[in-house]
Structure 1
């Protein structure tokens, strides 16, 4: 009786239940950025949320945001409890103390992605230094894998595209960068690792004719983060529920759709995202602007 009375007093004074008397939430909001039509929510987010609700014994409500900027606002306002974030968005949220990272997505056996600088295997440049003064292809000025991370890597390596490269072209797609190199329109170009596979059907000798002369540093895939104010025991339960629900069956298939092909998780730590912070510093760009760039379809596995 005394314990109950003390708890009630603290609740009245603090406007919330005192430690040891606090009940768990009756609803958790799982926020994500909508990258397709509304049918995508029903086919993936809803089944995943249902599985999490069953595991946790708490209603998990999926909520689709139109952009990472909107999702970040929801996190900062305490309206989102669990979030699927691109790496820039995670760092932006972390800077304000809104979240803690929980898990990082695995896709094709990797929890990271990278871009490659490609050139012709026969007669093309062999090093970044040999690219100096020659025509170069990027994908799009807002593409993380086709411009932003490669640009930071070039600058880090002592090559300023405006000063040190010849003609710079933007092809509009990852695959078109490969074609531009193959056709000799540029001496080198940059695209996400795996772009050569995308043109293999039309160019069976692409792996023989086009080689990678440099890679960007690995970039973390999308991550699941939780609101920083959640109790540690609830955070652990959320992590275990995600692992259980996505291990197989409908939950696994739903997660693959929702996350852009990811089929597993690894534990994540904040320092894993230092490459994101370094890239933003080199490019002198706001983290939330970069988060918006990573909402692009070519960033579904990361940016």
Structure 2
């Protein structure tokens, strides 16, 4: 293991998050078995007090979990000077086989965390806590994923060996290579540009319709279009957007844009994409649980607010990502 402040912070944070989720899961089991909002028993009053306090604490813990994903990526990227062959986070993730699995789990848990926080935020705006059981069930499903993430995170960092010679983005994100990264790198520029353009147009049209005219079916379509936009955006980052930042026609790495040489532009790029996607997903989820709320007016406001935030953050992603495409003198014509 390499002793690094970032590594220690990430591991300690993961242990705190997992401990709180364990405590929350134990309470969730009691809620799923004994919760009855119509009861005035001592047990119900105890559950209500514990639920409100625990849910509030877990919300803050899960917000930290989302931030810790960025901290993990930043820490991994900062370690590239410790390994021969590594030039960015890609090379450091390749040092230990657990690295990529940790990243995938962190991204998955980041989305689940945001969804849970969104559900809890809506739930606590109503006196009868209509989403208490659904969010408790979701917390139970999240716990094993967070446990797996923490285990793999320790396995990854403890297994880092500076003597290992690693391969980096030049070989992984190459059209001539193998695997998913090579496949994404090999997507023709015109194809990825078309995918991004079409998914963006559909996404914004559905979002505007959703704000102007509340139709349940359109809300579900908007959530689906947000997910499609997310994958189209990721493909575009690897296929052509990153090339314009690097001004190199063969460098497809999605991690180098997180470095100081490129003014850390990758962080606002990916954060805006994440916020756009998760808020679009929440629109569909809010619509699905709308029947549980005694007063539909507040939840309607949540849905419209989530839609607007999703559109604005998607616009931020497009502006940041396409700025060099539009204004740079670099061109990919002929590639």
TM-score category, normalised to shorter length: under 0.3
TM-score normalised over the length of structure 1: 0.21
Q: Which has the higher helix share?
A: 2
TM-score normalised over the length of structure 2: 0.20
The structure with higher relative contact order (CA 8 Å, sep 6+) is: 1
